[in-house]
Amino acid sequence: MNKTRLQLMLCGGTGCDSTGSEKVRIALLQEIEKHGLSEEVQIIVTGCNGFCAVGPVMVVQPEGIFYQKIQPEDAKELVDSHFLKGTPIQRLMYKNPANKKIIPKMDDIPFFSSQVFRAMRNKGLIDPEVIDEYIARDGYFAAAKALNEMSPDDIIKEMLESGLRGRGGAGFPAGMKWRFAKEAQGDVKYVLCNADEGDPGAFMDRSILESDPHSVIEGMIIAAKAINAHKGYIYCRSEYPLAVKRLNIAIEQAKNYGLLGEDILGSGFEFDVEVYQGAGAFVCGEETALMRSIEGKRGMPIPRPPFPAHKGLWKKPTILNNVETLANVPQIILNGGKWYASVGTATSKGTKVFALSGDVCNIGLVEVPMGTTIRKLVYDIGGGVPDKRKFKAVQLGGPSGGCVPEQYLDTPIDYEEITKVGAIMGSGGAIVMDNTTCMVDMARYFMDFIQDESCGKCTPCREGTKRILTLLENMCKGKGQPGDIEQLEELCEVVKHSSLCGLGQTASNPVLSTLKYFRDEYEAHIFDKTCPAKTCPALVKFEVDPNKCKMCGLCFKGCPADAIQWEKKAVAVIDKTKCIKCMSCYDRCKFDAIM
């Protein structure tokens, strides 16, 4: 494709962009030009590399050297020492936290070496704004094959054989959904891509769209052929401006190459895609609400049946698939369903992308084979919990999901197995929590979210979630009453069983799962008026324990309200009349002396 000697794959994803990768790019470019290396050394700005925790990151190809936390000032040394003299800079390499050994190559770093890249196969390897780079990695070969050599039934057969299940959360087999839509009567049909990514702690789909938008478009072309649709929409959150921009560029380029539009690749097949931006409503991720939203209405769910495969967008047969689901499709068509199914468990095939975050060392985007244990995800790839704190739970599935505590860490990543322990696979949000996270407060957090996002159509969802939230808020404020837990459980059951859409039906999960594993924390809030994790300000006394205070004065220095008296070699004292309960002293104290 090009004859450069070195390619600098500099991450331009959201994480690295905000830690300054653009400045690094400019500095590198200047140094490269200054040394007359422009022909030999090429900078390629990629989408998220995955290892956001140590950004800005850059991989030097073909050597595969991984650099982290690069600053503009490092550009000179990089060019002088590495690109000219061939001596890579150790200072900027990854160090194994366990033994402080330097690991120069990306593939040897544990964070990457346990991963298997399928949906993210091109991440960090191509410039997402250049279609030729996608094509050079076999891009659009699958579309060509599907359009010219395969019948709709052939495509659906491969999809069924692959065992690919929807990655948007519900896990419905993609091939089956396509078959229903194919069999539905009608000359106008639609293919939709769900890029609404509502889980408020997840960014898998965003990264795929930003780093490899063509893979999703190609997946949609194949889906269109399978059901005989000629129009598609990608429903993307408006909070993702970069994803929208890259999708639009990708669509434009695909049109220019004859990969979208009339008579694609001479096959006689016609298909067009448009990006539709959402406007900030979680419920619009639900399929029927999403379709109402594209129609320009308030995004409220409607009862099913009729299912979208028969009556969807504008009442026409429609399929809706998640971004990650679609990004897997081209490889299934190219390599066969059997190949895809060769990885995974009995009922969950292939790989799953997770956005690993929270109290974990290696925050970032990871893709693992189904069947990998959650322990491996959190410890081997995630590097465990930082600051010598203790692991408490990992939350999967966001506001519709639940938490997996220590004792179930060996659960394999598998739709059914995860459900058994009270969580859900979800769309891929995985938030690690340490012992400073209060589980009652977490349940309150998710209920606050749900309550805010309920569209209000069903009374149990609208009113029930409000009442659940009030109960949880009271507990966090120290106003919990005996009997509250039972009332919570009852309300949760009602909301679960009498709501119309998935939002209401799953809204109770975060409460029920924390109740199941951390009932003692609820009880402590209600009966002892204490918060064991010490995160609910109303339940912290804001007193200094003289036995634990080491007289360091850290709390004093950070108090914004002048509420702490402290002198050298004296125990700190908090003036409660001045204290604004900001928790700063609590966070700063290294000796756990604030009660």
Ligand X SMILES: Cc1cc2nc3c(=O)[nH]c(=O)nc-3n(C[C@H](O)[C@H](O)[C@H](O)COP(=O)(O)O)c2cc1C
Q: Which residues bind ligand X (CB under 6 A)?
A: 166-170, 172, 194, 196-198, 282-283, 285-287, 320-322, 325, 427, 501-503
Q: DSSP for 493-521?
A: HHHHHH-SSHHHHHTTHHHHHHHHHHHHH
User: Residue 293 binds what, of ligand SF4, ligand X, other proteins, none (CB under 5 to 8 Å, by partner type)?
Assistant: other proteins
Q: How far is the CB of 375 from other proteins (least distance, A)?
A: 20
Q: Which residue is nearest to ligand SF4 (CB)?
A: 504
How far is the C-alpha of 318 from the C-alpha of 291, rounded, in Å? 9
Strand (E) or helix (H) holding 59: strand 58-61
- Rounded to a whole number of angstroms, the minimum distance from the CB of residue 557 to other proteins is 10
394 binds ligand FES (CB under 6 A): no
Indicate which of ligand FES, ligand X, other proteins, none lies near residue 167 (CB less than 5 to 8 Å, by partner kind): ligand X
Q: What, of ligand FES, ligand SF4, ligand X, none, does residue 320 touch, CB below 5 to 8 Å by kind?
A: ligand X
Q: Among residues 15 and 312, whose Cβ is nearest to ligand FES?
A: 15
Say whether residue 277 binds other proteins (CB under 8 A). yes
Interaction between residue 451 and ligand FES (CB under 6 A): no
190-219 binders of ligand FES (CB under 6 A): 201
Q: Could you tell me the smallest distance in angstroms from the CB atom of residue 431 to other proteins?
A: 5
Residues near other proteins (CB under 8 A), total: 59
Using CB under 6 A as the binding rule, whether residue 52 contacts ligand FES is answered as yes
Q: How far is the CB of 485 from ligand SF4 (least distance, A)?
A: 24
* CA pair distance 296, 288, nearest whole angstrom: 13
Provide the 3-class DSSP secondary structure of residue 184: coil
Instruction: Report the site for other proteins in 179-208 (rule: CB under 8 A).
Output: 197-203, 206-207
Question: Residues of 432-446 as b/e, b for ≥16 C-beta within 10 angstroms?
Answer: bbbeebbbbbbbbbb
By a kind-dependent CB cut-off of 5 to 8 A, residue 325 interacts, out of ligand X, other proteins, ligand FES, none, with ligand X
**CB-side neighbour CA atoms (13 Å) of 543:** 5
Closest residue to bound ligand FES by CB? 13
DSSP-derived pairing of the beta strands 318-322 and 351-358: unpaired
Checking 307-310 for CB contacts under 8 A at 24+ apart, the result is 307/180, 309/177, 309/180, 309/181, 309/184, 310/180, 310/184
Alpha-carbon gap, residue 294 to 314, rounded angstroms: 9
Residue 503: contacted member of other proteins, ligand FES, ligand X, none (CB under 5 to 8 Å, by partner type): ligand X
If one asks whether residue 357 binds other proteins (CB under 8 A), the answer comes out as: yes
Smallest distance from other proteins to CB 52, Å: 3
Partner that binds at residue 504, options ligand X, other proteins, ligand SF4, none, CB closer than 5 to 8 Å by kind? ligand SF4
> How far, in Å, CA of 289 to CA of 298, rounded?
8
Give the span between the Cα atoms of 107 and 124, in whole angstroms: 13
φ/ψ of residue 362, rounded to 5: -95, 80
DSSP state for residue 307 in the 8-state scheme: P
Q: Which residues contact 24 (CB under 8 A, 6 or more apart)?
A: 10, 56, 58, 70, 71, 72, 74, 75
What residue 278 binds from ligand SF4, other proteins, ligand X, none (CB within 5 to 8 A, per partner kind)? Answer: other proteins
Report the nearest approach of ligand SF4 to the CB of residue 284 (Å): 10
Q: Does 152 bind other proteins (CB under 8 A)?
A: no
Q: How far is the CB of 464 from ligand X (least distance, A)?
A: 15
Element of type H or E holding 102 = strand 102-103
Per the listing, tokens 């012992």 go with: 435
Least distance (Å) between residue 590 CB and ligand SF4: 15
Is 280 a binding residue for other proteins by CB under 8 A? The answer is: yes
Sign of the Cα pseudo-torsion (226, 228, 231, 236, in order): negative
Residues 6+ apart with CB under 8 A from 593: 544, 545, 548, 549, 550, 572
Q: Which of 8, 9, 10, 15 binds ligand FES (CB under 6 A)?
A: 15
3-state secondary structure labels for all residues of 374-411:
HHHHHHHHCCCCCCCCCEEEEEECHHHCEEEEHHHCCC
Q: Which residues contact 521 (CB under 8 A, 6 or more apart)?
A: 438, 439, 440, 514, 531, 532, 533
Per CB under 8 A, 14 contacts other proteins: yes
CB of 441 to ligand FES, least distance (A): 16
User: Which residues of this protein are in contact with ligand FES, per CB under 6 A?
Assistant: 11, 13-16, 48-52, 55, 57, 201, 364
User: Which residues of this protein are in contact with other proteins, per CB under 8 A?
Assistant: 13-15, 17-19, 52-53, 55, 197-203, 206-207, 238-240, 276-282, 293-299, 314, 355, 357-359, 363-364, 395, 398, 429, 431, 433, 437, 442, 445, 449, 455, 558, 560, 580, 582-584, 587
